[in-house]
Structure formats: structure tokens, C-alpha cells
Chains A and B, each alone.
Chain A
Amino acid sequence: MKKLDKIIYHLREYKPELHDRYTLEENIIKNINARKRLPDILFGWTDIVWLRRSLAVASLFIIGVFVIQQSILINRIEELEERVTYFNTEMILEYQRKNVRANAVIMKKQGYNIFNDSINIARDDLLEMIREYRDLQAKYEDVMNKKMDGEPENNEQKL
């Protein structure tokens, strides 16, 4: 037999006696009677079973309502956030459009040329230039047609 087993055996066999049980019993009864005279106002209601159960049900109901309310609120907030994002995008685009136009107007009023490489040309000169461009294009097409028909030697003279 191991030492621990021997010790356990001794402790198991040990049956302590409660000395002066009468005093203990009287103390218990005295305490019970003293407490009876002083009802537990604060927590006395916990002994009423139906009240305890109905409060538990009520608390579960309140928790349920709270959870539902929270989920509805979260959905609404998400919806509003989406609306705000769309509105903001529209505002930015509109602002940019207005800004480009506004810049152009301001620069024009201040005498700046918006297009740096632009030139001024008279209307008659422009028409003359277009006419000459068209004549030149017609001649070029004639040359190309003749070349296709087999008269490459005369091309230089005609040009």
C-alpha cells in the first residue's frame, strides 16, 4: 500500500463529530427567526417563482426588440451612406464641369489666349488656301490615275 493511499484511508475513516450540536441548532433557528422579522425588501421578490419567470421572459423580449431595432437602424444607415456617396460624386463632376467653363471665361476676360499655338487668319485667305488645297488634291489624283494606267514617264512633265 502506498503512503498516500494509507493517508487517504486514515482520512476516509476519520469521522469528525460536531461538538455542541445543540448550540449550533439554536443559532440556526435564532438566525432564521431574526431574518423572518426583517423581510428582505431588496431581494425578497426573487423567491416568487412566477415573478422571476415573467421578468426573465420580459428581459428576453426586450433583448429581442433591441436586436431587431439595431438591425433596422444599421440597414437604414447603410442606405443613407450609399445615397450620400452618389450625391457627392454628382456634385464633384458638376463642379469640375463648371470649373473648366469658369476658367475659360476668366482667362478670356483677362486677355489670355487659351490655345497657345493658335493664329489669326483672314477669311479670304482661308478660302484661297482651301481652294488651292483642293486643286492640288485633284492634280495629285490625276497623276496617281495615270501612273496606274501605265504612263509613268509623263508624270514629271505634267507636274
Chain B
Amino acid sequence: MNNSYKISEIKAGSQGEFRKLIDGSADDIFALALKITADEEDARDIVQDSFIRLWEKRKTLKEKDSLLPFLKKITVNKCLDHLRKKKNHNINTASPELLNTLASSVQADSELQNQELFSLLKSLGSGLSPKQKVVFTMVELEQMSHDEVANITGMTKNSIKSNLRHAKRRLEEYVRYYLK
């Protein structure tokens, strides 16, 4: 991430510095949101809303802190809200053909295509609760430490461990069942 922006100038209302922040961090934030939501359009909306929210809250920022954890916190909260809203609209699992392709790709250790990865994210995420999905994405896919996840989500370390354990168990069951 490009840290060339100055928090003091962003706090003062400099849109030029804020653009630098967007340039430097949009990709990371988008990747996080996409891996949690598994929907490109939703992830884009969440990224946009998160930056707007950060701008609105700029006066409460502390200059010594990095903006990225705060931005991730906003993004994760927005993702959680989004997943909770979508909870009732159950995300469909991938089609049997796609699952077969995935199974053979995984078996053969070949490179997965973007579409296949999206399907994997959607399918894997459909059996998890919003919290489990967030914790799994942050710890396993984004390789964040438990401390970092606790700081961003506000969850306790025990809760993180428990959610991660449950998520992995569900995913193992899913993989065993669908990707034989």
C-alpha cells in the first residue's frame, strides 16, 4: 500500500491527499470485500461506501495511526451488514458441471480461472455464518494475525478461534461432499 498521503491534510479536507489514499489502498480493500461477499458489484459498492464513510469520519482520525486498519474495519462492518441482509436470500451453490471442473482442477493442481474462483467463494461461503465467513477470509485468505482480526472486527481471540474452527469444519464437510 502506498503510504505517501498525509493524514493531517486528509483531516483538513484535502481531496488530493484522499485520492492518493484511494489509489494506494483501493485494490486491497476491494480484494478483502470481494473475498468476503463473493460478488464483484457488491464489493465495488462496499469499497465506495467505505471510502465515503472514512472521509466523513476523517476528523476523528489520529495522525499517528495508519488509515488502513480503520478503513478495513469500516469495510468489514459493511460486509457483515451486507451478508446479514443477504442471509435470507440464500446464495446458490455452484452448478454440478462447475463443481466437476473445480474438482478436476483442484485434483490436477492446475490454475483456477477467475470465474471458477468466484464460484468457489460463493459455494464455500454459502454454508457459513457472516462472522465465520469474515473470520475465515481474514485469517486464511488474507493471512491476517488473530490480533489484527480482533482489532478490526472487535471480536475476542477466543471467538475468532471458535468461528475459524467451525468454518473450517463446515468447509471440509462441503469439500468432502461436493469435490469428491
A binds B: yes
Q: Name, among A3, A16, A21, A25, the residue most crowded by chain B CB atoms within 10 Å (CB to CB).
A: A16
The DSSP consensus for interface residues of chain B is: helix
Tell me the complex Cα distance, A28–B171, Å.
36
One of A29-37, A60-68, A104-112, A127-135 contacting the partner: A29-37
User: Do B19 and A29 touch across chains, with their CB atoms under 8 A apart?
Assistant: yes
What are the residues of chain A within 8 A of B19 when measuring CB–CB? 25, 29
What are the residues of chain B within 8 A of A18 when measuring CB–CB? 26-27, 30, 44, 47
Tell me the complex Cα distance, A12–B48, Å.
23
User: Do A8 and B26 touch across chains, with their CB atoms under 8 A apart?
Assistant: no
Contact of B47 among A8, A24, A35 (CB under 8 A): A24
Bin chain A's interface residue count. 20 to 34
Q: B1 interface residue, CB < 8 Å from A?
A: no
What are the residues of chain A within 8 A of B55 when measuring CB–CB? 28, 32
User: Do B48 and A15 touch across chains, with their CB atoms under 8 A apart?
Assistant: no
User: Do B60 and A47 touch across chains, with their CB atoms under 8 A apart?
Assistant: yes
Tell me the complex Cα distance, A18–B24, Å.
12
Q: With both chains docked as a complex, state the minimum distance between the C-beta of A6 and any C-beta of chain B, in angstroms.
A: 5
What are the residues of chain A within 8 A of B175 when measuring CB–CB? 3-4, 7
Residue on A with the closest CB to B137? A11
Q: A3-B106, A6-B106, A15-B31 are in contact. Are A24 and B26 (CB under 8 A)?
A: yes
What are the residues of chain B within 8 A of A35 when measuring CB–CB? 52, 56
User: Do B47 and A11 touch across chains, with their CB atoms under 8 A apart?
Assistant: no
Q: With both chains docked as a complex, state the minimum distance between the C-beta of B47 and any C-beta of chain A, in angstroms.
A: 7
Tell me the complex Cα distance, A21–B22, Å.
9
A residues at B contact (CB < 8 Å): 2-4, 6-8, 10-12, 14-18, 21, 24-25, 27-29, 31-32, 35, 47, 49
B residues at A contact (CB < 8 Å): 15, 18-19, 22-23, 26-27, 30-31, 34-35, 40, 44, 47-48, 51-52, 55-57, 59-60, 106, 109, 112, 114, 117, 120-121, 124, 140-141, 143, 168, 171-172, 175-176, 179
